[in-house]
A and B are shown apart, each in its own frame.
Chain A
Amino acid sequence: MNETDDLKRRLLQAGGRLAAEAPDLAAAAAAAGMLDVAYATIDSPLGSLLLASTDQGLVRVAYLEFADRDAVLESLAERVSPRMLEAPRRLDEPRRALDEYFAGRLRKFDLPLDRRLMGDFMRRVLSATTTIPYGSVSTYGAVALKAGSPRGYRAAGNALGSNPMPIVIPCHRVLHADGGIGGYTGGLERKRTLLELESTQPQPPG
């Protein structure tokens, strides 16, 4: 049945020529209140970053050259919601803030944050971290103390190491008491780069 085979081939080929691109779903999904997690990949001086937000605010920042993209997304699907779409426009605000930060023009992030990926202790540690000013550093011990666990500097280190929003929550400003650089969720080189960026900027007036 050669002509039937020919017909099958025609259908297959003609089908392939339909629809170059699928329409955009994110806007309609958001309007219907069904976009639980929007995410985008952006370029930065520290390599690609994945940004994710919910209706409450930024929920995740990940270094894609350090963390596996699929693993980060799957973890968000499991811990927040599987209703996730890539929707770059919905991440415009944090993207602009990060651009400004890397350009040395922004010293304090003022973004709505969704802290649902943080447990109680981590929340306390990270909010203590947020108070360390731009260009300054603190220690694991001092952060633990401020978080209400004077002897929990090791636990504080672990909490900082799993900071779901590096850069935005400046865990890079926390060092060892002896001056050692400690650890970093994006690798030590990135931590050094961030500290350098902040120290080479002129101090704020006043």
Chain B
Amino acid sequence: MALPPFQTLLDSYGRDVQRFLIANIGPVDADDCWQETWLSALHAYPSLKDASNLRAWVFTIAHRKLIDHARARGRRAIPVAEAVELASAEPATATALPDAQLWSSVAGLPDKQRTAVTLRFLIDSSYREIAVVMETSEEAARRNVHEALKRLRKELNR
């Protein structure tokens, strides 16, 4: 199968990758991570053998960048404090506050749970896709989403 022009991947998934990264590490670091993700993708693209699931392929790269980012920080991925600022800078003031609260709770989740739950509900990934992206089992993907929701529910209803 011929590979489509790279721009079509960027048009299709560029914003989704950005949202996924912001929700995981905040808007400031997300910009660098976004660029690294897409440069890595661009680098590997011509030799890509299987072009049947380009979305999962791009998100797999984005997820690896998140892991690199967390390692570089020498601890768990940094909370989404900046996302809170971003959310409250949005013009929709009525929704700004609930977003801020939500993102700080999401930031408090363990890495795997946060990745899984953002893939599931921000990107609308299936459990199958989450498993591919996180290089884990579908069962583990389900469990991580379930645990994340449980924790968020508890946190937000406190």
User: Contact residues of A with B, CB < 8 Å?
Assistant: 3-4, 7-8, 10-19, 21-23, 25, 28-29, 32, 34, 37, 39, 73-74, 76-78, 81-86
Q: Tell me if B28 is interfacial: C-beta within 8 Å of chain A.
A: no
List of B residues within 8 angstroms of A23 by Cβ: 18, 31, 34-35
One of A14, A78, A86 near B7 (C-beta < 8 A): A86
| A74-B7 Cα distance, complex, nearest whole Å | 11
A7 contacts B153, C-beta separation under 8 Å = yes
Q: Are B39 and A34 in contact (CB under 8 A)?
A: yes
Closest chain A residue, CB of each to CB of B90: A17
Chain B: minimal CB distance from A108 (Å): 31
- Whether B5 pairs with A7 at a CB distance below 8 angstroms is no
Instruction: From the candidates A10, A78, A83, name the one contacting B6 in the complex (CB within 8 A).
Output: A83
- Tell me if B78 is interfacial: C-beta within 8 Å of chain A: no
- CB distance A85 to B6 under 8 Å? yes
Given A15-B121, A18-B86, also A77-B4 (CB < 8 A): yes
- Contact across chains for A11 and B122 when beta carbons are under 8 A apart: yes
Residues in A neighbouring B156, C-beta threshold 8 A:
7
Q: Is the CB of A84 within 8 A of B31?
A: no
Chain B interface (Cβ within 8 Å of chain A)? 2-8, 10, 14-15, 17-19, 22-23, 27, 30-31, 34-35, 38-39, 42-43, 45-46, 83, 86-87, 90, 92, 95, 98-99, 102-103, 106, 117-118, 121-123, 149, 152-153, 156-157
Task: Provide the bound-state CA to CA distance between A111 and B86, in Å.
Answer: 45
Q: Known A3-B153, A15-B19; judge A22-B90 contact (CB<8 A).
A: no
A-B contact pairs, 12 of them (CB 8 A): A14-B102, A15-B19, A18-B18, A19-B27, A22-B15, A28-B35, A34-B42, A73-B8, A77-B5, A78-B2, A82-B4, A83-B42
Residues of chain A lying within 8 A (CB to CB) of residue B6 = 77, 82-85
Known: A7-B149, A19-B19, A83-B6. A14 touches B14 (CB 8 A): no
Give A15 to B98 CA distance when docked, in angstroms: 12
- On chain A, the residues within 8 Å of B7 by CB distance are 39, 73, 84-86
> Which residues of A have CB within 8 Å of B98?
10, 14
B residues less than 8 Å from A25 (CB atoms): 10, 14, 35, 38-39, 42
A121 to chain B, nearest CB (A): 26
Residues of A within 8 A of B42 (CB): 25, 29, 32, 34, 83
Docked-complex contact B19 and A11, CB < 8 angstroms: no
The CA of A37 and the CA of B22, in the complex, are separated in Å by 29
The distance in angstroms between the C-alpha atoms of A81 and B45, with both chains bound, is 10
Closest to A82 in B: B3
Alpha-carbon gap, A81 to B48, bound state (A):
13
- Nearest Cβ distance between residue B119 and chain A, in whole angstroms? 10
Which A residues are in CB contact (< 8 Å) with B14? 22, 25
Q: Are A8 and B121 in contact (CB under 8 A)?
A: yes
Instruction: Please give, as numbers and ranges, the residues of chain A lying within 8 Å of B5 by CB-CB distance.
Output: 37, 73-74, 76-77, 82, 84
- From A17, A28, A86, name the one whose CB has the most chain B CB atoms within 10 angstroms: A17
Q: A15-B122, A39-B7 are in contact. List 13 more A-B contacts (CB 8 A).
A: A7-B149, A14-B103, A18-B22, A18-B23, A18-B27, A18-B86, A19-B19, A19-B27, A22-B15, A22-B34, A28-B39, A32-B43, A82-B2
